[in-house]
Structures are given as C-alpha cells and as structure tokens.
Amino acid sequence: MKVVFLNPPYFPMFSRESRSPSVTKSSTLYWPMFMCYAAGCVEEDGNELLVLDSPAMDLDLDATLEKIKAFKPEFAVLNTSTPSINNDMRVGKAIKEALGCPVAMMGTHATAEPIEILEREPAIDYVIIGEADYTARELVRHLRGDGPSEASNVLGIAWRDGETPKQNAERPKIEDINTLPWVSKVYRKHLFSCYKRYFYGANINPLIVILSGRGCPFRCTYCVVPQTLTGHTYRKRDVADVVDEMAYIKSAFPDLGEIFFEDDTFTAHPGRTVELCEEVIRRGLKVTWSANARADVKPDVLKVMKKAGCRELCVGFESCSTDVLKNVKKGLADGMAERFMDGANKAGILIHGCFMVGNLGDTPETLQATLEFAKKLNPNTAQFYPIMAYPGTTAYKEAKERGELASDDYDLWLDKDGQHNTTVIRKGLTSQQLVNFCDRARREFYLRPKYVWKQAVMALTNGRERYRVFRGAGTLFKHLFRKHGAPQASSGYSRPKEPSAKDIAAKQAATVDA
C-alpha cells in the first residue's frame, strides 16, 4: 500500500514535536521523531512510503499537495500538536478533497482529543491514539485487506461508524521497544535532503535525535508526552542496540555534530546510564551526544557520561519555589539543583536549563526569584517559557477546573508569528504578563556582560561550538527587544461559544483585579 506520512505545513520553522510546539526564538527546528518511528514500522511491513516534513522542506500547502498528488497515496497519516490542530485539520481536509484517500491523525493532541477531532472535521477518517507505531501498521493492514476486517477491531484508534465517531480501547504500550526500527534509518532514507535544516539552539549541529527508551517514571503535571503517548514506565532498549545505532549514525550522516537522546529522562535509571556509557567507552566509539536529564544525577555518573562523549544535558529546573515544584509534582529537593550544577561543572558537561513560569502557585515574587535562581545556576543556555497546559495533561485539567484556562480556542495558543501565547491565567498574573516576563527574563539572562563574554570566548576558541553560538545568538537577539505579537485570528474551527481575544483580555483583567 502507498502511504504518506506528513508533518503538515504551518508557520515556517514550526516545531510540532517540541514539548511546547511553536516557532522558537532560537531558530530551533525539531525532527518529527515520533512520526518517523511510526513510518518505519509501516514501511517494514511491506508498504511504499512518502515521508514529508513541510516545515523543514519549506513547503507551503500547495507545494505539499503537489508532492502528495505525484505520489498517489492510498492512505495519509498527519502529525499533529495542540497549537497547530486547526491548521492540521485544514490540511487533512485538503488532502481528502484532492485525492479522496482515507486520512488519519496521530500525535499528542490526537491522543488527547480523538473524538473532538472527528466531530470537528468530517474529512478525518481515523485518529491514532497513544504510541502510533503498531497501531498505524495494523490500520494499514486493515485498509489493505490482510488485517482486522473491521475498524472496530483495531486497537488504539478512533473512527467513524457511518456518521458516528467511535473510540476503541487503547493499544497496550510496546513492551519490547528493541523491535522498533531505527528512526535514524528512516531519517537517512526519507529526510536526508533536509538533514541539516534541523537545528537545536543548545546543541552542536547538525544533529540526529533518537530514543534509547520510552516513557518517564516521573509525573510532572505539565509534561505532555508521557501523559499522552509513552506512559510512566521507562521501557529501555538493549544497550548494545542503542550503541549499534550510534555507530550507524556516525557513519551515515556526514558532518554529524552530535546525537541527542530525546528520552524524557535519559538518566532515570542511573545504573543503566552508566552501563550504556561503559559500552560506548569499551567500543572506543568517538561520538558526541547529549540528553534530557533531571537535576538529580550524581557526580560519579556525570563523570562517566562525560568520558563516554556526553557534551550537554537538557534539564528542567522550572522554578526555585519548593511549593511550586510540589504543585507540579517535580519532586526536586532544596539544594539539589545547586549540587547538580556543581557536579556538572566539575565533570565538564554543559547544561541547558529550562524555566517555566505560571505554574500553580506562581506569583510575581516567585517568578522574579526564579529568574535570579537561573542567573545563579548560570547554565550554558537557558529558556524561559510560559506554562502551556495541553489537553491530556493534569495541568490542563487543573486549569480548567480552577477557571484559569481562558480559552479552548487552540489558535490562541500561539501569537500571529507562531510563538508561544499561553491562555493560562493565574490570580494576579494574566497570560500576557507571563509571556512578558519570559521576554524580560531572556534579556536579563543573556545580556549579562559575563555571560556574553563567556559565549564569545567559546565561539572564538571552539570551532564546533561557533556555529551554534552565532546562529542561536543572531536569532535570539532579534527577539530580545521584540514586542510580543497579538494572538492569531481564529481559524473558524473553534467551537461557536469560545471567547474572543477581547473576551480573554477582559477575563484576565478581572482575574488580576480579584
């Protein structure tokens, strides 16, 4: 069967598979990793594939449709996110009108709101819920006639019974993820032409993003991927299989900067982290890599990671307030972040620090304290972003129950330029104030003379870091003094009773007055 997997066109440089999908201020463009894992499973099952990433390929809707028409697919699978969902449904409708083939959606938002999607856009035939890999494969088998005879027997989908949306039981999580194809081979075959377009502001580029495991044992209320796609059990690949893929990547991608492990928490099981590092060292594999981590990695583990080629860790510090961290179930004890930073500095591992504002319990005072905390920790790079409570997360449910979600109009979650425009409000803090604080925090963090000097020295003395520093800085400085854009106009997909931007502003003003 001929199947197209599409990361749909939207804003230029829109990162749909980021944990906070948007156009970033650092020129970052994410790989469509989960979509490519699913595509690999479908291709291994004897199907012919076209994999398109329109934002990376600079394809607008017309150009995207032309490529799809030339391929003549019998089935289309579209990647989604909450801020782009109205656009994505529009693209799905355009594909259905142009080709008449069945259309499915996958991703975090599709998992959280499958029935809503089917109710709001009649052109969408199926919604894939949870991990898409085996579900997409079985759905294709159903459509080509050698799988389940009825859609009702395909686990993990929502579908139409005539005009009525139905939702089947979710497919169990994949226990043995060693059975999944290497996503790097999918990139090499289908996306190699735009390999160097993918750019992560904190990393050595070009880079390849893979998983060494799926799921996260921690339960942070705001984190969308474990709460929708991968669950809270950390299922790990065999160490040998991971290192084999690392070796393949080094040989298959010329000018490779580094490999990034997109596991929610690569260091969740320290013993396994050390085992993987020791296998890299044993093989003498010289490859630079980075990963997501928590601020609880011990100094001895950090030293082994550095010896194995670890360059940087992306760490969610989020807040300096113990109460706020408890509210979001982050679970970091007092002093842990400082001890972690000390260990990382001594090991020679760079840190990209993430700080979130507008969490439950935040006040103007906790925000300012968090900014000072970020300066004190002084990671190599930092991002400040407003809480984006996505459907399917506890944070979203809490905000709705507390009356602190100003709107469910997904178009209003980005501004007119595709950047973050949270609709979460807190007592004493409007969503605009949260966004404005993030803008100010970036200026204060990045314009410190000592910080600027340190980055300049790094760029001038380290050729591998130079491109990252100059490109990231060039893009960032364009935004440091930029006035935050107005919310997007509604696309027409919004529910009829959703408030307008004017209504949101009025509600926010009333909340501040209260």
Q: Span 480-506, mean pLDDT?
A: 52
Strands in 2-7's sheet, in edge-to-edge order, are: 48-53, 2-7, 75-80, 103-107, 126-128, 157-161, 164-167
pLDDT at 361: 94
What span, in angstroms and rounded, lies between the C-alpha atoms of 322 and 290? 28
Q: What is the pLDDT of residue 453?
A: 87
What's the pLDDT at 21?
Answer: 93
User: Going along 29-161, which residue ranges are E strands?
Assistant: 48-53, 75-80, 103-107, 126-128, 157-161
* Average pLDDT along the chain: 91
514 pLDDT band (50/70/90 cuts)? very low
Predicted confidence (pLDDT) at residue 505 exceeds the cutoff of 80 = no
- The position carrying tokens 């009025």 is 506
48 forms bridges with which residues in the sheet?
2
pLDDT, residue 462, reads 78
- Please state the three-class secondary structure of 144-205 as a single string: HCCCCCCHHHCCCEEEEECCEEEECCCCCCCCCHHHCCCHHHHHHHHCHHHHHHCECCCCCC
What would the DSSP string read from start to end of 89-109?
A: HHHHHHHHHHH---EEEEEHH
Short-list 225, 200, 221, CA closest to 211: 225
Query: What is the reported pLDDT for 495?
Result: 43
Buried b / exposed e across 378-414, counting CB within 10 Å, b at 16+? bbbbbbbbbbbbbbbbbbbebbeeeebbbbbbbbbbb
Residue 507 has pLDDT above 60, yes or no: no
The predicted pLDDT at position 500 comes to 43
Would you say residue 287 has pLDDT above 60?
Answer: yes
Q: Bridge-partner residues for 290, per DSSP?
A: 260, 312
The helix-helix angle for 364-377 and 431-446 (nearest 10°) equals 20
H-helix or E-strand spanning residue 209: strand 207-210
410 pLDDT band (50/70/90 cuts)? very high
- What letter would DSSP give residue 488? P
C-alpha 435/C-alpha 441 separation (Å) is 10
Residue 379: both structure tokens together: 């990671």
Confidence band of 331 (pLDDT split at 50, 70, 90)? confident
Which pLDDT tens digit goes with each residue over 431-481?
A: 999 999 999 999 999 999 998 888 888 878 877 777 777 766 666 666 566
Q: How high is the pLDDT of residue 480?
A: 60
pLDDT of residue 486: 56
Single out the residue of 111, 332, 117 nearest to residue 224, CA to CA: 111
Judged by phi (left if over 0) then psi (alpha if -120 to 50, else beta), residue 76 lies in: beta
- pLDDT at position 58 is 96
Q: State residue 363's pLDDT score.
A: 95
pLDDT tens for each residue of 105-152: 999 999 999 999 999 999 999 999 999 999 999 999 999 999 999 999
Q: Is 60 exceeded by the pLDDT of residue 497?
A: no
- Cα 432 to Cα 371, 439, 450: the distances in Å are 17, 11, 30
Per-residue pLDDT tens digits for 230-254: 999 999 999 999 999 999 999 999 9
- Residue 464, pLDDT score: 75
pLDDT attached to residue 461: 82
In sign, the C-alpha dihedral spanning 316, 191, 465, 210 is positive
Q: What is the pTM of this model?
A: 0.92
Assigned token pair, 459:
């760029």
- pLDDT value of position 448: 93
Token pair in block for residue 510: 């009333």
Q: Is the peptide bond before 12 cis (omega within 30 degrees of 0)?
A: no
Over 80: is that where the pLDDT of 89 sits? yes
pLDDT at position 26 is: 80
Q: Are 29 and 100 in contact (CB under 8 A)?
A: no
Determine whether 505 is exposed, middle or buried from the number of CB atoms within 10 Å of its CB (0-12, 13-18, 19+).
middle
